[in-house]
Structure 1
Amino acid sequence: MFGIHDIYLFVISGLLLSIMPGPDTLLIMARSASQGFKAGSAAALGTGAGVMVHVLAAALGMSAILATSATAFLVVKYVGAAYIIWMAIGLLRSKPRAAAATAAPPLPLRKIFGQGFLSNVLNPKVALFFLAFVPQFIDADAPNKALAFIVLGIIFNFNSMLWCHALALFTARASASVKVGPKVAMWFGRATGVLFIWLGIKLALSKQH
């Protein structure tokens, strides 16, 4: 159907790729640990929305620009790296909530969604991943390759959302069960910030091919 083949292999491969840790995983875990499942879910949905942008762009051929234009790739790469490092700085500057009456309130869910969306949509490696991975499961004589690409992208994103929400639920429950104190949560956030800086630098130094 739609000129798609080896769908089961695609699903299994997609799930294994989703489980691999990265900026999305760290963001979901950090928000789930600090603000509970709803915050982790908001981050997951934000990353999912970012994935769909890449899927639609790749299906329409727009992401091919990132694969062929060094300038476009560099611009998106550096903007994405800068945003990840900016989020990392915010985590590194976090303070225990119980330390002062003026402690910052929980981050609104819409902002957490925006963080997930931007951290994903500003990562050109995601666009290149879809351009390299998805076409392997589309027949050369498929009647509508763009439609087949979108269908596979939706399947990939749906399975990824199942994993991300399971991760958010597990992290939120684990955080609640061990009763993480303000200082522990602060240092967890700072450790995540250090990892985000590493990921941001890694993204900035990544090559187009």
Structure 2
Amino acid sequence: MSIAIIPFAIFAASQISTPGPANMALLATGARYGFRAALPFVAGVALGKQLIIWPIGFGLMELAEAAPAVFTALKYISAAYIVWLAWKVANLRLGQGSPAANAPGFMAGLIVHPLNPKAWAMIVGSFTAFVGPDIPTLTATATVAAVLFACQVVVHPLWALGGEAMARTVAGTRSEPYLMWTLAALTVASVLFVLFAGGS
């Protein structure tokens, strides 16, 4: 077997493009602070996934099988963090004019994916569904890392840019709180799906 690059790229693009905790954080950051101010956060989010990919590729999931209770606890702690993040999004108001200097930076973005159950499930699925058992570990991990990162470089800035555009359209209108609660609900739904349907 080999690595199914094209099916994997389609899978990666679809997963990275859909609403989830990371994309909601990018959308909210772009909406609150503007696209340019959000770019360090965008870069951190994109690179943060690498902090999961490489350990998983080199055997982290074997450790998870040896100590399942620890990883189960971490999964629910991470889910609780995402729900808290969703609560912040729900109560975010776009027209408050916070200074760009207060925008979350690179380090804040770096921890988003390690605390994102959807990211863990996506990466585990990438290795199990698209990588043949005969592929050397370094080759497999580097390929998964490169494809996911390439998709993120394209998609993640679009979410932040969309947030800025959304702020210009709905900030201060009656629809603003309903929109923010909808985005928060999508974030929570994506985490619940991973926890109870998709596994992680």
TM-score (ref. length: structure 1): 0.73
Task: State how far apart, in whole Å, the 1-side matches of 2:99 and 2:170 are.
Answer: 19
Counterpart of 2:149 in structure 1 is 157
Q: 1:140 aligns with which of 119, 123, 133?
A: 133
Task: State how far apart, in whole Å, the 2-side matches of 1:123 and 1:146 are.
Answer: 24
Describe how 1:31-110 pairs up with structure 2 within 5 A: 31-67=29-65, 69-94=67-92, 105=99, 108-109=102-103
CA contact (8 A) 1:4 1:148 kept: no
- Change over 3 Å in CA distance of 1:204–1:8 after alignment to 2: closer
- Change over 3 Å in CA distance of 1:44–1:75 after alignment to 2: same
Counterpart of 2:28 in structure 1 is 30
Task: State how far apart, in whole Å, the 1-side matches of 2:74 and 2:95 are.
Answer: 35
Counterpart of 1:121 in structure 2 is 114
User: How far is 1:165 from its partner?
Assistant: 1.2
CA contact (8 A) 1:80 1:123 kept: yes
- Change over 3 Å in CA distance of 1:70–1:6 after alignment to 2: closer
User: How far is 1:37 from its partner?
Assistant: 1.0
CA contact (8 A) 2:86 2:184 kept: yes
Give SS of 1:63's match: helix
Amino acid at match of 1:90: K
Q: 1:8 aligns with which of 6, 22, 29?
A: 6
- Change over 3 Å in CA distance of 1:106–1:184 after alignment to 2: farther
Deviations 1:136-194 (CA, angstroms, capped at 9, x unpaired): 4434333x323321232222122122012123223323533x37338765654444344
Counterpart of 2:172 in structure 1 is 181
CA contact (8 A) 1:15 1:159 kept: yes
Deviations 1:95-133 (CA, angstroms, capped at 9, x unpaired): 6765xxxx8655734x35444433320234533432332
- Change over 3 Å in CA distance of 1:139–1:46 after alignment to 2: same
The count of residues paired between Structure 1 and Structure 2 equals 200
TM-score (ref. length: structure 2): 0.76
Counterpart of 2:159 in structure 1 is 167
CA contact (8 A) 1:64 1:131 kept: no
Aligned-residue CA RMSD in angstroms? 3.4
Identity %: 19
Confirm whether residue 192 of structure 1 aligns to residue 176 of structure 2. Answer: no
